[in-house]
Amino acid sequence: MLGGKRHSLGMSFYEPTVVGNVSNDMLLFREEVFGPVAPLIPFKTEEEAIHLANDTNAGGTIWWSKASGLGREGSKYGVDEFLELKYICMGNMS
């Protein structure tokens, strides 16, 4: 539907791509894609959408921000969500 070509920046870059009418038997649905690709998968009900989302072993993250959110994702502060601060107090060391 959109994109699908190498970017003018060079061989290591790919245009953001939107693929329409993807079905759950396609590799694009079954395998994790490492690139700017958005497959559009049609569904009729919310239950069907949930079933489709759970019918794959790959996961993904989508960021969509329009002046909202906290702005930590993609920055040095984003890793804070995965760390646990520990405190150690040692006394009588002299």
Q: Does some domain include residue 90?
A: no
* pLDDT given at position 73: 65
Q: What is the pTM of this model?
A: 0.55
pLDDT at residue 21 is higher than 80? yes
Structural domain boundaries, residue 18: 1-63
Element (H, E) at 83: none
* pLDDT given at position 1: 94
Nearest residue to 59 via CA among 33, 83, 35: 33
Q: Does some domain include residue 89?
A: no
**pLDDT tens-digit readout, 30-82:** 888 878 898 999 999 999 988 988 887 766 666 665 665 565 666 777 777 77
CA 45 to chain centre: 23
CA distances from 32 to 36, 60, 61, 92, 94 (A): 12, 8, 11, 54, 56
Q: Does some domain include residue 79?
A: no
